[in-house]
Amino acid sequence: MLRPTFFTAGFVFTLLAHSSVAAEPTLSQLDYSGSPQAVEALDRELYAAGTDPVKLAVIEQRLLASLRARDTTYAARQVLCQRLGWVLGLAPEKLTAAGLKPLPAMLVDERDSDLARLALEPAPGAVIDTLFLTALNQTTARTRIALIDSIARRQIVAAVPTLAKLLSNNDPATAAAAARALGFITDHSAAVVLLAVPEPSPAAVAAAKLALAPRLAAGSALAVLADLRARAADPVHRIAALRLLLQLDPSIATTLAVLDGNDTAAKHVVLESIYASRAPQIIPALAAKLSTWDALTQTAVIAAMARRGDAAAISALLKATAHEDAKVRTAALEALGFLPGTIETMTALTKVAAGTATAENKIAKASLARLNGPALNAAILTGAERGETAWRVVLIEQIALRGLSEGLPLLVKLRADPDSAIRAAAVTALGELAPPADNKIVLDWAIAATDANEQARALRALVSITLRNPDVAGRGAPLYAALETAPAELALRLLPALGRIGGAPSAACAAKLALNVDFKLAEAALAALVRWPDDTAVAALVSVAERTTLPALRASAVSGVIAAFERNRAFWNADATALVARLLVVSAAAESRLALITLLKRAVDAPALALAEKSQSDPVIGAAAGETAAVIRANQAGPAKLRASTMAGVKNLTDGNTGNRWSVPAEGDEWVEVDFILSRPLRRITLDQTGRGAEFPESYELYVTDDVAVPGKVVATGVGQTNKTVIDLPVGTRGRYVIIKNVAARKDTPWSICEIFVD
């Protein structure tokens, strides 16, 4: 059973139950802000009636009677007409004009016409069509335009003569509505009327012809579209006609004619159509004409041909790679990579790729890597083995770019090639392609290489192959073994690979080299550890500091550890405390010892507190150690508590992840409060806005107090700094609370903090 849903101007009702309730007594007085109960009752009655013609006839008469009543409100009439549309739409075609009163009169009334259309438009039959035709001849202006719209939807063929007359109406809106209706009515008579209007025609007529064309016979459609394409007044209609022509006409005459012309918009349409065109031989035709067009057109056509992937374009594109215009050349080089590959294409691309380094050179290499066709891989391998150096280098690179594992034996063989450029290219390709099992081959190559470029490339290849090995613990073993026995000069050359591989095993190997008797090698190894890309070098640096006999290297190792801890403000742990304790034993420089004892301020562990308390008797660092012990005791009281002017995101301030942040608009009255639980010494506050470089406080004031209700005097002021705002505090600063305020407005960026670091 159908379940109608009705929409009114003031509300939407969906049928929910099955019962019959008399609705008219209250429905007739309905207004848009009133209770919907009467409407819901009517809808339930319609739902219960379903498609039963007897029940619907009773409801129909009652609704018409309500419409005829003089005291029925406009809102009620709207509801009644909507429901009548449903009822009349299900009625058999036995309606009469007399039986539909007052709808015929309403249809010609300017105020009620839209309501009558709601009721009559869904109803079938010639009687209703006649009502619309009669009303059309009795109305003007907006009412007539609305009726024309209904006539179009009902496909009233008998209205065609009247609509034909209205095409020349003085009112442009009426004439346009008539044209739209004629384009919508599918009867041949409507087409005859529209097609009789010569071009250039009014815009609405041209649009109607465009709507009509796909329904015409092929020959007629093409004639109409060709006429619109050539003579329509509005360029939009000319372009639309062209687009339809290209869809309906399988020939390529239109495509070529447009490309020969100067109409840029039309060319865009043609170029869009080339990929999906059903025209036979379109690519050979375009290829034959390609060189006759201007450079811009050639470039666009080449790109369109590339999408087709038709081998018929190869010859023309090969010729275009020598065009005087750079854009044409690059378009052709790129397109060739999408076409079926041939030896001729491979040769042409290799020639460009082997030339002077330019944008075209890079494009040719990329196209060569994409090129696919029979015998190409074999030709690449053959060309890589013998021939001119520049060509061989390109083809050796292609072995890696194309993933030709069958070329691995050749690449290994090329280690003996007399040309250093060939050797360098071959070892680079090995680095991209070789499995971890070939690590020893590339290591031996790196050791034996004498040319500086070849040495550097061999080392990069060694690192690449090593990092591809899933055995993280053991993958660097061949390199470590070689470094332990290598002469100092060779070890210096291989040393950079350790940092690129990274990890604790590589750091341990570098630490051994830092203890080498050769000072130059030891110094280089220690420098590598200081620059190490991750934190695994810290333990190795401590080991070097403990074991080296050279004071300068020991001082550098200690400084490296301190710098590493400054770079990484991650949460402290007992292992970090143990490392600092070991360094305090071997470090002699007062500055370093002070820095080390200060690092312990991040700790919460008992060994750290014990170390700080023990160090208070040290004449050099005793005072700093006492301060550190006080800080550790405050840390042990619990994590700092945070409050801010805006609490959203405040937990991000100390979560250890600089990818999170607290952020507020910089309006000049924002603040952050840190509660350390216990009063503690304070030396420096760092506001890290990593990744949000410019979102520093515009101007800040910092307070330190033991009573948050009485913040006291400003301890520090200043302006924010890019990436990190570092605030040094006066010597002896101590307190439980730190309050940082932004006191100046900034419109362009907010104030953000990723982490707060306290020293």
d(CA 267, CA 628): 77
Residue that is written with structure tokens 């009247």 in the block: 162
d(CA 611, CA 600): 9
Nearest alpha-carbon partner for 421 in 328, 354, 509:
354
Helix (H) / strand (E) element for 688: namely strand 684-688
* Per-residue model confidence (pLDDT) at position 30: 83
Q: Who contacts 147 (Cβ-Cβ below 8 Å, separation ≥6)?
A: 107, 113, 117, 132, 135, 136, 139
Are 353 and 365 a contacting pair, CB within 8 Å?
A: yes
**Would strands 700-705 and 734-742 be described as parallel, antiparallel, or unpaired?**
antiparallel
Helix (H) / strand (E) element for 468: namely helix 452-468
Assigned token pair, 136: 């059309």
Are 668 and 744 a contacting pair, CB within 8 Å?
A: yes
- Type of residue at 445: W
Mean pLDDT, 10 residues at a time, over the chain (759 residues)? Answer: 38 33 60 82 88 88 90 90 89 78 92 93 91 93 94 94 93 94 92 93 93 90 92 94 88 90 92 88 94 96 94 96 96 96 96 91 95 93 94 96 95 96 97 95 96 96 96 94 95 96 95 96 96 92 95 95 87 92 93 93 93 93 93 91 92 88 93 94 92 89 94 93 93 94 92 92
d(CA 575, CA 615): 19
d(CA 126, CA 57): 19
- CA torsion sign for 566, 568, 570, 575 is negative
* Per-residue model confidence (pLDDT) at position 13: 33
Assigned token pair, 463: 């690192």
3-class DSSP state for residue 276?
A: coil
Domain at 641-758, CATH from 3.30.565.10, 1.10.3720.10, 2.60.120.260, 1.20.120.1200: 2.60.120.260
SS3 track for 547-580:
HCCCHHHHHHHHHHHHHHHHHCCCCCCHHHHHHH
* Per-residue model confidence (pLDDT) at position 542: 96
* Per-residue model confidence (pLDDT) at position 93: 63
d(CA 162, CA 364): 66
3-class DSSP state for residue 656?
A: coil
* Per-residue model confidence (pLDDT) at position 570: 75
Q: For 372, which DSSP code? A: B
Tell me the HSE value of 282 on the side-chain side, using a 13 A CA sphere.
30
pTM for this predicted structure = 0.71
d(CA 5, CA 405): 67
* Per-residue model confidence (pLDDT) at position 225: 92
* Per-residue model confidence (pLDDT) at position 366: 95
d(CA 618, CA 625): 8
Assigned token pair, 184: 């919508």
- Type of residue at 154: R
d(CA 523, CA 555): 12
With 0-12 / 13-18 / 19 or more C-beta atoms within 10 angstroms meaning exposed / middle / buried, residue 489 is exposed
d(CA 529, CA 514): 9
Are 642 and 616 a contacting pair, CB within 8 Å?
A: no
Angle ∠(666,667,671) on CA atoms, nearest 5: 70
Neighbours of 8 (CB within 10 A): 15
d(CA 539, CA 528): 14
Q: Where are the beta strands (DSSP E) in 712-754?
A: 716-718, 724-728, 734-742, 751-753
Assigned token pair, 351: 């020639």
